[in-house]
Chain A
Amino acid sequence: MTRKGKRLLSIGGMVSVVAVAAALVLTAMSDSVAYFNSPTDIVEKTPAPGQRIRLGGMVETGSVVRDQGETVTFRVTDTIQSVPVTYTGILPDLFREGQGVVAEGTLGPDHLFLADTVLAKHDENYMPKEVVDDLKARGLWDHDNSRPKAADEKGAGV
């Protein structure tokens, strides 16, 4: 093979590796990425079953039910709508009623959200950023106290 031929071959090899990588990235982007939704989004838009979703909001006060075993059900609310969630496993240390939460999973039949991951928060003041942004965008955020507007009052009544 000529020197030119070899050089073309090497360049062709490199380009194909990069092309394969790009193709992998593009397919992975369309299949394995989870979109953030608020409870209102879920109620209004009803995403297709099987689509991976991150559901973010507050844990509705008084909604956490532990059955005999390891399954927990609770409702995630953005103070307008709420979505029932079921999760089997150990909840993060800072999972509390009235506090922010992000659950990742898929929407099952009857609008029951099947979570396979419930995100841990790293300290007591932490609200998932996605939840804060979402609440701020819709005017449900109490800027003075840096907390959600209605959820806390509801929590205080119980």
Chain B
Amino acid sequence: MIVELGHYALILALAASLIQSVVPALGARRGDARMMEVGQASSLGVFLLLGFAFSALTVAYVNSDFSVLNVYQNSHSAKPMLFKISGVWGNHEGSMLLWVLILALFGALVASFGRDLPPTLRANVLSVQAWILTAFLAFILFTSNPFTRLFPAPFEGEDLNPILQDVGLAIHPPLLYLGYVGFSIAFSFAVAALMDGKIDAAWARWVRPWTLAAWIFLTLGISMGSYWAYYELGWGGWWFWDPVENASFMPWLSGTALLHSAVVMEKRSALKVWTILLAILTFSLSLLGTFLVRSGVLTSVHAFATDPSRGIFILMILCVFIGGSLALFAFRASTLESGGLFQPISREGALVLNNLFLTTATATVLVGTLYPLLLEMLTGEKISVGEPFFNLTFAPLMVPLLLAVPFGPLLAWKRGDIAGATQRLYWAIGAALLTVIIALALTQGTEVLASLGLGLGIWLLIGSLVDLVERANFRKVGLSTGFARLKGLPRSAFGTALAHFGLGVTVVGIVCVSAFQTEVVTTMAPGDVRGAGGYEIRFDGMSERDGPNYTEEVGNFTVMENGTTLGTMESARRLYTARQMPTTEAGIRTHWFSQLYLSLGDSTANGGATVVRIWYKPFVTLIWIGTIFMAIGGVVSLADRRLRVGAPAARKSRLAGAAGARG
């Protein structure tokens, strides 16, 4: 019964979205306040309806109601509760439902927190949100209904793909979707501004917190996905330049560019047209990502089902939204007046440079991702574009960008002083050069690229903090006044410094792992000892164990350093009984920032011995720790007074109070 109610709620949500698509926008055009008001109520209503539909599906999963086709195909009564719940979005239909739920959440948030937006802008934004929602709700109802019943109901389900039975599934998709879908707000604001034909600095102030919030989630979502793949797949890699990864990385790159260009627009009213275009492109890339992942054009763990009608439906959504918004842009962009002028060497100039490199890098990733698909469609020839391609194209574009990062915050608006900025970066330059020299000396000149990369990382780490130190002016005013000054700085300055610092942390991690990791593939019999990264690893033999819905053979290892035992590690070969599918569970042991990583292979022909892959990964965790810094930087920026969503309201109520007092 609850399943039918969920289905019904989904249909009602589609109807409400249809109304919201038309009425508020029409109201904005006619200046009819009551029609514009409809957007508010309907946004909240749609969110509640979809929340109900999602809960209904969750209930079906929790109760293992195998009369629902979706539950039967992706669940099992013996599956642990956590995976029963996260399994709701561990399949095509459920994950699309999560997608629209989050889209509706953002619409509801704009409706409730956007009370201070100009009414026409808000009405238009909510209508544009409803267009997206309508398209995807129709997609779900017509091609991917999660509530389809199955008769007669089977006794047992087919279980979830074992690779997905992990806490990662509970965290990674929701975070990623919050990011992906969050960019829809920037898109809706951009389209609304184009419909209105007017745009000002206030527009950027409204758009920036939403973009920033989406960016924070996307950063964490991608990072979480990377760590999940790292420990779950047992290949020891943290990024594969897989098209599915690229699908989430492209909106991140262009979203990062959007964050920076929105700063220019807010502060200097410049780059208006460009910012609008970027907002459209960023969400278009999110849609493209959804298409690549959900249509089944790619075979991957993310592509749950391949049904051509779905692919064509999403492709149509993609064409209508991207084509339509770009056409609107081409048609209306000239009505937007351009703003402040600036010198090439200035804060604006630095941010333009950032945008130039980030968008070019996005374009290379786009080419590398789509070219194989297009080539196959046009000529039938099949190629694979992998890491070597991106190392040759993406990496060289990142180097000048990363070199420029510390300069940005030190340049003044309008006209900057590059010599002065360089002078203030002397310490950072010195530390970076010293790092390069020490690294070269330690590796005896064999790792030139890695040494330069480490220098680049240190340059970012120290250079990103220079702005704060300079503004506190410790040298002149002493420590205590310096800290007092530091406290008085706007939070966004801290946010910038933290995010750039995090970038440096990630760069150091990437360089260390790529250049200095050691890998041993070896056959071990019980009692054998192998060395890796200064540790000795002893194989103690295999044992068998039963899990809730799998059986596993566990390889037991002891880790030692100079003969003293540090602890044990285990890596397992699991067999999930329902699907008869084997997986490998890697063993990971963290020492400070570095990790030992063990993965079991097959047993050798005569039995007893087994193939083991041992990695020592120096400073690998810095890769993900850096992204956490970036996200914290984003949160700190979001807490800046200027961006706080409620801030304009406070000012207005004060004004109202003052007016009242006067009256």
Contact = CB atoms under 8 A, between A and B. Distances in A.
Contacts of B600: 90
B388 A35 contact: no
Contact of B583 (A20, A68, A90, A93): A93
Given A6-B343, A21-B364, A122-B301, A88 B392 contact: no
Interface in A1-32: 6, 9-10, 14, 17-18, 20-21, 24-25, 27-29, 31-32
A60 B230 CA distance: 31
A3 B91 CA distance: 57
Nearest to B385: A33
B360 A90 contact: no
Interface stretch (B26-34, B79-87, B286-294, B574-582): B574-582
Given A25-B364, A94-B581, A120-B233, A33 B389 contact: yes
Contacts of B300: 122
B584 A93 contact: yes
A75 to B, nearest CB: 17
A29 B389 contact: yes
Interface in A99-123: 104, 120, 122-123
B156 to A, nearest CB: 17
A126 B602 CA distance: 21
B161 to A, nearest CB: 5
Given A17-B356, A33-B383, A35-B381, A123 B161 contact: yes
A59 to B, nearest CB: 14
Given A21-B360, A93-B583, A94-B582, A122 B161 contact: yes
A129 B361 CA distance: 29
B382 A36 contact: yes
Contacts of B381: 35-36
A24 B382 contact: no
Contact of B364 (A24, A31, A54, A93): A24
B210 to A, nearest CB: 28
Dominant secondary structure of chain B at its interface with chain A: mixed
A32 B270 CA distance: 40
B229 to A, nearest CB: 11
B662 to A, nearest CB: 48
B233 A70 contact: no
Nearest to A6: B344
Interface in B369-408: 371, 381-386, 388-389, 391-393, 396-397
A21 B371 contact: no
Given A35-B382, A90-B613, A9 B392 contact: no
A44 interface: no
B256 interface: no
Sorted nearest first, the 5 A-B pairs with minimum C-beta distance are A32-B388, A90-B601, A36-B382, A28-B392, A122-B301
Given A34-B386, A90-B601, 5 more contacts: A24-B393, A28-B389, A34-B383, A70-B601, A90-B234
21 contacts: A6-B344, A9-B344, A10-B344, A17-B397, A21-B393, A25-B364, A25-B368, A31-B388, A32-B385, A32-B388, A32-B391, A35-B381, A35-B382, A54-B384, A70-B522, A90-B600, A90-B611, A90-B613, A91-B602, A122-B163, A122-B300
